[in-house]
Structure 1
């Protein structure tokens, strides 16, 4: 009897293939942790520092996405790296480009305990002399700020340090901001210098509720031999997680922005509910002692303009009073509508009167011109596409943008 007809063989159960172990991402790791990862796959100790430097250069200066492209790394080591690690960036589900040049990417990441792949949005805002990337730190948010679309999406999970860094790498690649990569034809970008010159942690989520991963990601972003962004060009925005504000200054050393939006506790309790835990007095006290605070390193206070809610001249005068003695600037943000919101944007004349009063008090108070509204990429509008579609927002979105 031939082997193919042996009943003892034919009746053997077919076993499923053994699952492959998940490869660890090297993106976002510290130099020490990259070194330890190399030791674990047998790289001799005397070579570790050199190999870390090579990997760092290829990942963050050259922007490569495959170990096979690392030309000065030996073939055997490239094979070992490929077998044990990954340097995968987020999957781009969708890219949208606004009429004003703003770009928004919908990124997808692995579940990592969430049960299914997760999605976040990242926005690039080109301006004269700079290009700002608005980066997300969480999938969803717990803070439920009532004027913010992201706040209507429940928190799914924190992003890893590699997933945060991956947003920056992917944006730079898509814009042609790495050597040997061309900028897309017709793209609106700064006329000279870095195309991604500034990073703001103002996307989806509360960065200080993902402190360790955000801290590590920003350390990579500001590394002088890597992405090399000045800490003065990195801004972290918080809704007011008071106990973490001092640590942010001490351990990250980046610029701070406070999502303020109200000058009275009763109103801020509604607009920014974390205020019930950390009221204005505690928040502003933490700001006054922020490490490194000076006229050259001012705190930005963000203030969304809501018609008939927080936009009176009395509110403006109280804002000036509250911030007295804090080196600060105030960003006035015209409210950006989203489906289902009950808020309206303040009339433009009222926004200008509010700005005039604040400016007269000595605060630089630019009015942040809405960018990317036509692709739902403006401040307070970010939300993963699956959540948006789940709520059936598409038609309401068109109506909100048109209003």
Structure 2
């Protein structure tokens, strides 16, 4: 069993304390921090501005642990999905999505998910454990290494979305620590305006995220009424009923011109009718909101079907006609099972 400390799991303050325990000055932490997060050093021999003695000490008691790339799937549209094996053998997913001039990365925050949303492949796996800060951030490092290998084909990651496996607000402290390093100019250096945390709506987690002001908020809504939400997101809907969720979001701190994003997966004949669109418009009303419409990406054996394209357009038009900003998100990576949890489910079936 590896008893060494994974430096990727240490905040900057914890890294300072760790180095002090080795008899080093606190200022050394800034050097090591830069090697970890900006230069992506994976062994201490690379850290050439550290003394040989310190590099030796670090090698004896510390590690820099990246997950292993178990599988890499590349879509014909350029989307890349990684199935990553963590140090304890568990598997998680992360996706990079090339766009015009930049790349968006979708991160996982839990191994599995306890929320059991009926349309989600991850939700049907059940929950294993929370991911550590280092495991969350290492997904970005793995993607950056891959992009460096394909720099003529893929632009750098500029946008981060916590929309992978798990609900990030159920692992809010590790996610908060990861956001701190993610937005640190000496860390990964992302703009808080380009990081989005997506959740079904976890009361305590919403309070923590709102207070930290390190990311934008997206809510997995998927239904305009409590009754329908209980069918699609049974655990989330019962834990925080729709009226209480909306009241919580009305109090959520937003900067000028910011809005809460509401994600809405369209399921054929279930929540994609014009009456559902009118109910959604009524629910959001004058709230500071925008809606991301997502056509369901059906996996083999899934309980739902993808919506008809004309129905998607009709749904979108109802929202715009009611004054609701609605954006139809393009479905990418369908040929590589890129929806949350699909690649892991496929891998487990084939193993």
Query: Closer, same or farther in 2 for the Cα pair 1:293/1:261, shift >3 Å?
Result: farther
Q: Which secondary structure does the structure 1 equivalent of 2:69 belong to?
A: strand
Per the TM alignment, residue 326 of structure 1 is displaced from its structure 2 partner at its CA by 1.9
In the alignment, does 2:238 pair up with 1:238?
Answer: no
CA distance in 1, matches of 2:63, 2:51: 17
Structure 2 residue aligned with 1:114: none
Unaligned runs of 5+ in 1: 1-18, 112-116, 177-181, 395-403
8 Å CA contact 2:179–2:214 kept in 1: the answer is: no
**Pairing 1:279–2:241 present:** yes
Partner of 1:331: 292
How far residue 318 of structure 1 moved from its aligned partner, in angstroms, is 1.2
The reply on whether 1:382 has 2:344 as its aligned counterpart is: no
Structure having the higher Rg: 1
Q: Across the two proteins, how many residue pairs are aligned to each other?
A: 350
Measured after TM superposition, the shift of residue 279 of structure 1 is 0.9
Which residue is equivalent to 1:346? 307
Residue of structure 1 equivalent to 2:16 = 35
SS in 1 for 2:157: coil
Kindly report structure 1 stretches of 4+ aligned residues shifted beyond 6 Å: none
Distance between the aligned counterparts of 2:217 and 2:116, measured in 1? Answer: 21
More strand by share: 2
Matches within 5 A, 1:76-87: 76-87=53-64
Output one character per residue of 1:62-117: Cα deviation in whole Å (capped at 9) or x when no partner. Answer: 12111110111111101111111111211111111100000011101122xxxxx1
2:324 corresponds to 1:357: no
- Contact 2:159 2:194 (C-alpha < 8 Å) held by counterparts: yes
Q: CA deviation at 1:293?
A: 4.6
Shift of 1:313: 1.1
2-side partners of 1:232 and 1:206: how far apart? 20
Equivalents in 1 of 2:258, 2:66: separation in Å?
33
**Contact 1:287/1:326 (CA < 8 Å) preserved in 2?**
no
Residue 183 of structure 1 corresponds to which residue in structure 2? 150
CA displacement at 1:363 relative to structure 2: 2.7
Q: Is 2:42 aligned against 1:58?
A: no
TM-score by length of 2: 0.96
2:56, 2:284 → 1: CA distance?
Answer: 57
The question of whether the paired residues in 2 share the 8 Å contact of 1:120 and 1:384 is answered with: no
Match of 2:172 among 180, 204, 211: 211
- Please name the residue that 1:169 is paired with: 141
Mapped partners of 1:263, 1:80: distance in 2: 57
Q: Indicate if the aligned counterparts of 1:123 and 1:377 stay in contact, CA closer than 8 A.
A: yes
CA RMSD of aligned residues (A): 1.6
SS at match of 1:303: strand
